[in-house]
A and B are shown apart, each in its own frame.
Chain A
Amino acid sequence: MRISASRRAVLAAGLALAASPLPKPAIAQGAPLRIGVITTLSGPGGYLGADARDALQLAAEMNGGRLGDVPVQFVVEDDALRPAQGKQIAERFLRNERIRLFTGVIFSNVLGAVVPDILDADGIYVSCNAGPSNFAGRECRRNYFVVSWQNDNLHESAGALANIMGYQRVFILAPNYQAGRDALTGFKRLFRGTITNEVYTRLDQTDYAAEMAQIRAARPDAVYHFHPGGLGIAFIRQYAQAGLLGTIPQVLPAPSMDVVTLAAVGDAAEGVDVSSHWNSDFDNAESRRFVDAFRRRYNRMPTYYAQQAYDTALAIGAALRGTGGSVSDPEAFRTAMLRADFPSTRGNFRFGPNQHPIQDWYALKVERVGGQLALVTKRKILENHSDAYAAQCRI
């Protein structure tokens, strides 16, 4: 009797672990315009959300606590990479806190749960990272804007880069979730060679030994993999340990190799090719201003998650300036937003017909700069690149 009770308890414990919300009280104040930031602050993806949050706050601080002449306050909560938790936070923000304007979500699966609720309640969502395909095409929405990129773009650019590098046979991997499937679709869209294997890993996977063995057996010209945050660190380190580093080159999208992954991976990253829409060495005034301010304020290099969030804050600021600081009229906000009247850290930026960016993509390479490994911008891969779903969007 005792035993069966305890077994049930073990199972219940596992269940509790898999689906436990971590509620935190929100900070509420009166005067400034409050912007809901639902982001991932815990778990292996925690630094992504922390970078986004820090950059949003930095953008406001650099303008005296204002975005577009409007005093703003960010109300930040951790979704712990759980869609259900993100949804709960969104509902609470909408109903109890009366917040109308949202940003912050890092992961596409969380975004999928959060955004419909916000938009159905006449709220506005401006994405600073995730841009899943399902909201970019037929189901695009008037009050949903993406400042970062449509997910596929990251991987289309990596596919284009693989073409430039002259690779014929490529082994591709991504975690089995919305953004992972978008990744492989995106890579295949522009890559002209053949795909030797297409492998879906798990979003909670830490050990990639089985995949390494498959890669070695397939003998491709190159490996492309999309593993954001801690996943990528584990993958690339194990890639080096399996002795694949010297034999099979990697072509990576930006999420698999940001400055944090680079530091955690160490020497195993040298010589890796990466595609991205921005890099900390970009030579334009706004980017330099942002990188300097971020490093001074937080004493670390910003990742592109920070850069996108900073751009998002600027975009929101531009829209707020257009509406005189009001978010009660979504149509006026939309008109102002779509002008994209702000100096982007990536230089060339405008919104396409589906309210996703049209921008340039670049090739980066991990090289030693003064003895330290760093991402160095090499060349432009794609110019004024939109996405494959824009044509299906009717708004």
Chain B
Amino acid sequence: MALLVEQLLNGIQLGVTLFLLAAGLTLVFGIMGVINLAHGSLYMIGAFAAAFVAAETGSVLLALLGGLVAAGLTGMAIEFVVLRRLYARDHLDQVLATFGLILFFNQGMVILFGRQPIFVALPPFLAGAVEILPGVPYPVYRLLIIVLGLLVALGLWFLIQKTRIGALVRAGATHREMVRALGVDIRLLYTLVFGLGALLAGFAGVMAGPVYSVNVGMGEQILILTFVVVVIGGVGSIRGAMFGALLVGIVDTMLRAYVPGLLRTMMDASQADMLGAGLASMGVYLLMALVLLLKPRGLFPAHA
């Protein structure tokens, strides 16, 4: 039982990290109609910038700020310099251009920081573990990721549902032409939305730094799963991204944790482990296929 709770928390934590990435991706795609493969690069830039600032200053707050600013500014620069020219173009052109950006940023990071993964220290007051249930210590830092991630989700919900900017974003996601016809500066809105998405990706990168390994190419590793989240949740829907991310996080964690054990009761141990690992890693993709089959536009489609 205690183990189940712990694994559930693990799933939620993975889901929250995925949400931070998927929210930006789905917003950019839903509103601007752009597939941004370089979204993972922004995650990487956030992680590297935070690691760099942390190593230079030793301040957690400055590191967080550094990561956010670097990712946000890079995001807006990408929008201003590259993507602006691609809105009217075919998706294939966008994919090509943003894939080029991945290569550009990866090589840039190799030049700046080298290929070796870099060390990110946890601040001492976050390093320990607390007992969430008797006998089940859980890392404080992972709890913090969950809390901050949920707070960001709440903030995002408020921003999108309760503010004027949010209203424009929602309108942009459903009736882009109408928003433009009403005289809203859609270009500014696009830059803001892209910057927001970049900020979220950067935040995910900053949070991931001390837990995962900070290295060149870290963005592409997680981006594939993020795309799965976006497809499951419904393209352009923040609510979909939230539920999709939690679903993927929990399903992925639970499958990894329990499928091999379940199969062990039915067959030879080492065969069960092998098959279980295979099934677990297929799990989220099967889930995606299933969702596409039943609800081709995702669980929470943004476009009515």
Question: If A7-B235, A12-B95, A42-B216 touch, does A206 touch B222 (CB 8 Å cutoff)?
Answer: yes
Question: If A10-B235, A230-B215, A241-B139 touch, does A17 touch B37 (CB 8 Å cutoff)?
Answer: yes
CB of B163 within 8 A of chain A?
no
CB of B172 within 8 A of chain A?
no
Max chain A Cβ within 10 angstroms of own Cβ: one of B92, B99, B114, B116: B116
Question: If A13-B37, A43-B216 touch, does A7 touch B10 (CB 8 Å cutoff)?
Answer: no
Question: If A213-B7, A266-B119 touch, does A44 touch B235 (CB 8 Å cutoff)?
Answer: no
Determine if A17 and B224 form an interchain contact, defined as CB atoms under 8 angstroms apart: yes
Determine if B227 and A14 form an interchain contact, defined as CB atoms under 8 angstroms apart: yes
Determine if A200 and B117 form an interchain contact, defined as CB atoms under 8 angstroms apart: no
Determine if B115 and A47 form an interchain contact, defined as CB atoms under 8 angstroms apart: yes
- Main secondary structure on chain B at its contact with chain A? helix
Residues of A within 8 A of B122 (CB): 241
CB of A84 within 8 A of chain B?
no
Question: If A13-B37, A17-B37, A201-B277 touch, does A4 touch B91 (CB 8 Å cutoff)?
Answer: no
**Alpha-carbon gap, A209 to B143, bound state (A):** 12
CB of A96 within 8 A of chain B?
no
1/0 contact string of A22-35 vs chain B (CB within 8 Å): 10000000000000
Q: How far is the CB of B170 from chain A (nearest CB, A)?
A: 17
Nearest A residue to B137 by beta-carbon distance? Answer: A243
Determine if B127 and A41 form an interchain contact, defined as CB atoms under 8 angstroms apart: no
Nearest A residue to B11 by beta-carbon distance? Answer: A210
Determine if B33 and A7 form an interchain contact, defined as CB atoms under 8 angstroms apart: no
Determine if A207 and B296 form an interchain contact, defined as CB atoms under 8 angstroms apart: no
Give the contacting residue for A6; candidates B29, B103, B137; CB below 8 A: B29
- Main secondary structure on chain A at its contact with chain B? helix
Residues of B within 8 A of A50 (CB): 115
Q: How far is the CB of A207 from chain B (nearest CB, A)?
A: 5
Residues of A within 8 A of B13 (CB): 207, 209
CB of B211 within 8 A of chain A?
yes
Determine if A199 and B213 form an interchain contact, defined as CB atoms under 8 angstroms apart: no
CB of A181 within 8 A of chain B?
yes
1/0 contact string of B257-268 vs chain A (CB within 8 Å): 100100000000
**Chain A residues near B (Cβ < 8 Å):** 3-7, 9-14, 16-18, 20, 22, 41-44, 46-47, 50, 176, 181, 184, 197-202, 204, 206-207, 209-211, 213-214, 216-217, 229-231, 233-234, 237-238, 241-243, 260-261, 263-266, 300
**Chain B residues near A (Cβ < 8 Å):** 3, 6-7, 10-11, 13-14, 17, 29, 33, 35, 37, 91-92, 95, 99, 103, 106, 110, 114-119, 121-122, 127-129, 136-137, 139, 141-142, 208, 210-213, 215-218, 220-224, 227-228, 230-231, 235, 253-254, 256-257, 260, 269-270, 273-274, 276-278, 281, 296-297, 301, 303
| Supplied contacts A200-B277, A210-B10, A260-B116, 10 more A-B pairs, CB within 8 Å | A4-B296, A7-B297, A10-B29, A13-B37, A46-B217, A200-B260, A206-B208, A209-B142, A213-B10, A263-B119
